[in-house]
A and B are shown apart, each in its own frame.
Chain A
Amino acid sequence: MAFPRSDVTAVPAAGAPAVPDQGGREVPPTVVKIVVAGGFAVGKTTFIGSISDIEPLSTEAAMTEHSVGVDDAGGVTDSKTSTTVAMDFGRITLPGNLWLYLFGTPGQDRFLFMWDDLVRGAIGAVVLVDTDRLEHCFPAVDYFETRRIPFVVAVNCFAGVARHTLDDVRSALAIPAEVPVFYTDARSRAATKQALITVVQTAMRRLAAGPRPADQG
């Protein structure tokens, strides 16, 4: 796995182009990330794989967190939980020595506590929606809206069939007007590319607009 490195120029691994600086040393890439959220089995890994330069990888995020919640029996739980969840991700190398990572969120509500870690420093998020299971993306929409993280809602059309209009989805999920809602096809590189462009544009608009009055009060 390891690559030999000469004194003058490093030999990069595939997909990791080196950009030499004036001293002949490669400059490390600038790293950015976009989070891909949505319910279980909505197509997050397919979405990531449609555009990633590397085969989507899966890693175990084992974490111990303090959590407070209500259990199924109605009792309040307050405990340290130790959880192991699979998290899929991919990487796109962009011109200008930029690496864009796409991280899929673990697909169940009870792992929301892990998202802070995943989302910190992200450009924004794509919430993938399966219109047959609209309610599965409620937690994701809530999460990003509450934390004022730029996000877009991408309605995944399996087999090219749209079962609900975008207006229906927007009103069912109570998506604010400034959040883009659009159809996508997680299998399509072109559609995924457009979804990512929309996330970045949304983040840029948010940045240009500055803090909203609500943030100051």
Chain B
Amino acid sequence: MTVVPPAPREPGGRALDHPEPDEAGSVRPYMVTGGRTRPSGDALPIEALVECLLPAADAESSRPRGAAGPSTPSGPESRRILELTQGRYLSVAEISAHAHLPVGVVRVLVSDLAAAGSVRIHGLTPASLTDPADPTGGAAALSVLESVLNGISAL
């Protein structure tokens, strides 16, 4: 594997918090999640949609604006997710593809961003679609399926 050079230091000797984006490829993926491979809550579906709740200026600023607010993104990967989901819905899978991050990493980061109030998660698929034994979900699932069927037929 590639030997990762020591973190660049500022003149004062303090290590920079984050590598430049072009160096991000040399960071092992789970470094950015603190070694975690699972979000704290239920595993986020890969098709779940993510929406950035922060104003564009906050999401795109290269540095967090001070320490104020729980919504400040903490790393370049998180900021990239906020950029990608600015003003549109994007699935976990699409974020993963566009940001060149493994799905598992995106799940963890998105869960953290949601917990911090920086993004909202939408579009969780009704579990009843795969659970015909669920008596409560059947009717709702059938109506979704009817819409999907009509939609595909109209393509």
Contact = CB atoms under 8 A, between A and B. Distances in A.
Interface of A: 1-5, 10-13, 16, 28-33, 51, 57-64, 84, 87, 89, 91-92, 94-96, 98-101, 103, 117-123, 148-149, 193, 196-197, 200-201, 203-204, 206-211, 215
Interface of B: 29, 37, 43, 45-49, 51, 56, 59-60, 83-84, 86-89, 91, 93-94, 96-98, 100-105, 122-127, 129-130, 132-133, 138, 141-142, 144-155
B101 to A, nearest CB: 8
Contacts of B155: 51, 92, 94, 193
A31 B103 contact: no
A30 B86 contact: no
Nearest to B126: A121
Contacts, number: 175
B39 to A, nearest CB: 13
Nearest to B52: A2
A61 B151 CA distance: 29
A29 B59 contact: no
B125 A33 contact: yes
Contact of B125 (A31, A63, A206): A31
A78 to B, nearest CB: 19
Contact of A120 (B104, B130, B149): B130
